[in-house]
Amino acid sequence: MSGVVGVVPEGRIGYGMQLPVQSLSTRVSMPWEADGDVTDIVSVAQACDEAGFTYVAVCHHVAIPPEPAEAMSTQWYDPIATLGYVAASTSRTRLFTNVFVAPYQHPLATAKAFATLDRLSGGRVIVGLGAGHVEGEFDALGVSFSGRGAIVDEAIGVIDHALREEWTAGVGQRPRPVQQPRPPIWIGGSGRPALRRVAHIGDGWIPQATPLDRLGDDIAWICAEADRVRPGARPQIGYHLVAHVGTPAWDLPRGVLAGEPQRIIDFANDRLGALGVAHLQVRLLAQSRTELCDQIAAFGEQVGPHLVRKALD
């Protein structure tokens, strides 16, 4: 993994999940979360901590326009504040932004926030960065939507440098991160610009809606491009998995991988680990916080320890 700040040990598949309540988007939340509060966020994070989850994650939006708010909602807890609060109630699980929209603020402010979080958490941050997709949100913040690609490219370079070095562009920042040479940077997105960022600078990749039948080709492109610009670098590839351990007493939506733990293990290893996938963002469907915590415990005990991947050539 030359040139890559690793998170998941070689040969293993890590696993994490987005915390509930933080966002009420219909894409990632369950109905019970509408009445949830900070107690639910912390309880689920602690369950992940106890079950050996690699990370807990939160997403980033600042202000949602009316039309997308119908599906996305306007509830998006601030990611850095939320993870800082969660850090005080956990001890092992990493703290991941999936993803922080880099163009929304100056990259030195972003580097400051992540460095501080890494220091306060004892070195548990994963810096997940992306370009963003809600045009009206860019407009509200006075940021160019059409120019976001160039903005995020420049921002990632500054964030990378500022997390490695105290002095950037003639100014210094402390506290310094605990992790050296810096916290890992994972890149979100599924278009070619995102894949290029993964290959050029990323330590990991978080695909967004990438179909499974395209995943192998995208991984091959990342590896080939990484070999061109930083030979031997192998970013740690992620993938999303919607699952339920066991058979629930309620009807699951279509497309959920459910049943005996071995069924989930076989799919993850044979379809994803065989491609070199290194970490899964697992969405465990549940109708209550109690059921979700039970699902987390079951996944951590019965599925996670058996997940393996092949090395990327």
CATH code, 14-235: 3.20.20.30
Q: Where are the domains of the chain?
A: 14-235
Specify the 3-state DSSP secondary structure of 138.
helix
Please list, in sequence order, all residues whose beta carbon lies within 8 angstroms of the beta carbon of residue 143, skipping any fewer than 6 positions away.
103, 104, 151
Helices marked H in the chain: 38-50, 66-72, 79-87, 107-120, 135-141, 148-164, 192-201, 212-229, 261-267, 289-298
Rounded Cα gap, residues 173 and 165, in angstroms: 8
Tokens of 252: 């699951």
- pLDDT tens sequence across 132-190: 999 999 999 999 999 999 999 999 999 999 999 999 999 999 999 999 999 999 999 99
Question: Roughly what angle, to the nearest 10 degrees, separates helices 148-164 and 192-201?
Answer: 20
Residues 94/53, Cβ–Cβ less than 8 Å: no
User: Across the chain, what does the average pLDDT equal?
Assistant: 97
- pLDDT tens sequence across 73-111: 999 999 999 999 999 999 999 999 999 999 999 999 999
What is the per-residue pLDDT for 3? 83
Q: Does residue 258 surpass a pLDDT of 70?
A: yes
What is the per-residue pLDDT for 226? 97
Q: Rounded mean pLDDT of 13-30?
A: 97
Q: Does residue 30 surpass a pLDDT of 60?
A: yes
**What percent of the chain has pLDDT above 90?**
97
222-225: which pairs have CB atoms within 8 A and are 24 or more residues apart?
Answer: 222/195, 222/198, 223/199, 223/312, 223/313, 225/195, 225/196, 225/199, 225/200
Rounded Cα gap, residues 278 and 238, in angstroms: 6
Q: Residue 18: phi, psi to the nearest 5? A: -80, 135
Residues 18/59, Cβ–Cβ less than 8 Å: yes
Q: Rounded mean pLDDT of 221-225?
A: 97
The string over 76-89, giving b where at least 16 C-beta atoms fall within 10 Å of a residue's C-beta and e elsewhere, is bbebbebbbebbee
What is the per-residue pLDDT for 209? 86
Q: pLDDT grade, residue 1 (50/70/90)?
A: very low
Residues 55/95, Cβ–Cβ less than 8 Å: yes
- Running DSSP on this structure, what letter comes out for residue 142? T
Residue with tokens 């989930």: 264
Rounded Cα gap, residues 84 and 119, in angstroms: 10
- pLDDT tens sequence across 275-312: 999 999 999 999 999 999 999 999 999 999 999 999 98
- pLDDT tens sequence across 106-136: 999 999 999 999 999 999 999 999 999 999 9
Residue with tokens 């980033």: 60
Rounded Cα gap, residues 84 and 70, in angstroms: 29
Partners of 280 in the β-ladder: 15, 239
Helices marked H in 165-288: 192-201, 212-229, 261-267
The pTM for the full model equals 0.97
Residues 71/25, Cβ–Cβ less than 8 Å: yes
Q: Does residue 313 surpass a pLDDT of 90?
A: no
